[in-house]
A and B are shown apart, each in its own frame.
Chain A
Amino acid sequence: MGEMEELRKEADNLKDQITEARKVVQDTTLQEAVAGTTLVGRVQLKTRKTLRGHLAKIYAMHWGTDTNCSKLCVSASQDGKLIVWDTLTTNKVNAIPLKSSWVMTCAYAPSGNMVACGGLDNMCSIYNLKGKDGNVKVMRELAAHTGYLSCCRFLNDSEIITSSGDCTCILWDIETGTEKTIFAGHLGDCMSLAVSPDFKMFISGACDFTAKLWDIREATCRQTFSGHESDINAIGFFPNGNAVITGSDDATCKLYDLRADQELITYQDSGIMCGVTSLAASLSGRLLLAGYDDFNVNIWDMLKAERVGVLAGHDNRVSCIGVSSDGMACCTGSWDSFLKIWN
């Protein structure tokens, strides 16, 4: 098989080229660059609210972004419910019963008009919160993935991106319920995705230990980031859209810069030996909040890569975390069935 041999050689050459090109621009490290920066002072956040109502493990939560719902969030639990919460009053605005209780992700549309969820049913179900008669109903069931739905994020009221255990991500047309673009390339289950602040790109983290940056309209993979030694469970953008943060079963988080095309720093501590399940950046990006399998959230100074705080309060794994769009509060969701609001 002459062609296979040639292709393998060319692939190896290209990988070496990429490694070299990354080294060429590595004139310093982030660690050296921030040597003169003062470490953030100890961050002590308190639980301000506890959202009680789910009857089983919480797997996902997502804050609303529209000014009308910046204090609303949606959570998904394997009790088979999606709950939309008013985090200021702790009231349940909506309690939506799901067809399938094996839910793994949920999302709030930027407009506040819809929520979505999915899981072991391999589908992404879209719910209209603003129906005429006030009842929340399934609007669309997006079915095409051949594996579980691990994450979903709305671009707008007519488009949503999903990631799946079938190793692909899909951009959907919600109106027609059909796939617009299939993003294939990962060699392992896609576990998480995040959309860039300008909505032009998204990143995915997978069980092939890599993160990939995708151009939504060009339908291409622009960059691939390696370095993790196990599944990437969580991924997010640094607030200015120029860097990506990942969280992995290898017990570390990493910061990758998109324009330098490489890892800048790793957030790790010899005392932390369990996987990262979720992460979120504070408004300025200076703080990285990461949820771990050991029931805690560690707060990192994102520039200095040192721990500056801990959120301890859950009695089981922290499965999801999010910072509100105005940066005023952090919400954690846990297998202990509670959500907590901290600031």
Chain B
Amino acid sequence: MQSSSNTARARRAVQQLRIEASIERIKVSKASADLMHYCGEQGKYDPLLMGIPASENPFKDKKPCTIL
């Protein structure tokens, strides 16, 4: 019956909302601080952020050396 499947769907939706309403939340200040800390700590190991010296860049085509 159409009406009973609608009710079943509505019951599931309420059940799901109950789960989502009950979670513990941390403060945005702590969440932000943790993201900033992670970026700060890991940034120095981030090649795209720090740049890659030509000699250490495996993707950079090596130009042949010319002896002058």
Interface residues of A (CB under 8 A from B): 1, 3-4, 7-8, 10-11, 14-15, 17-18, 21-22, 24-30, 33-34, 37, 40, 43, 45, 48-49, 71, 87-88, 185, 220-224, 238-240, 242-243, 257, 259-262, 264, 282-287, 302-303, 323, 326-330, 341, 343
Contacts and interface: CB of A to CB of B under 8 A. Distances in A.
B28 to A, nearest CB: 5
Contacts of A238: 35, 38
Contact of A221 (B7, B16, B42): B16
23 contacts: A7-B7, A7-B11, A11-B17, A18-B20, A27-B27, A30-B35, A37-B36, A71-B58, A88-B59, A240-B34, A257-B31, A257-B35, A264-B35, A284-B38, A285-B39, A286-B46, A286-B49, A287-B49, A302-B39, A326-B47, A327-B48, A343-B48, A343-B57
Given A1-B3, A259-B31, A14 B14 contact: yes
A327 B45 contact: yes
B67 interface: no
Contacts of A303: 35-36, 39
Nearest to B42: A284
- From B10, B20, B43, B61, residue with most partner A Cβ within 10 Å: B20
Given A10-B14, A28-B29, A341 B59 contact: yes
Interface residues of B, number: 41
Interface in B7-57: 7, 10-11, 13-14, 16-21, 23, 25-36, 38-39, 42-43, 45-49, 52, 57
Contacts of A34: 32, 36
Interface of B: 3, 6-7, 10-11, 13-14, 16-21, 23, 25-36, 38-39, 42-43, 45-49, 52, 57-61
Contact of B46 (A29, A224, A287, A329): A287
3 nearest interchain CB pairs? A284-B42, A33-B32, A284-B46
B6 to A, nearest CB: 7
B49 to A, nearest CB: 5
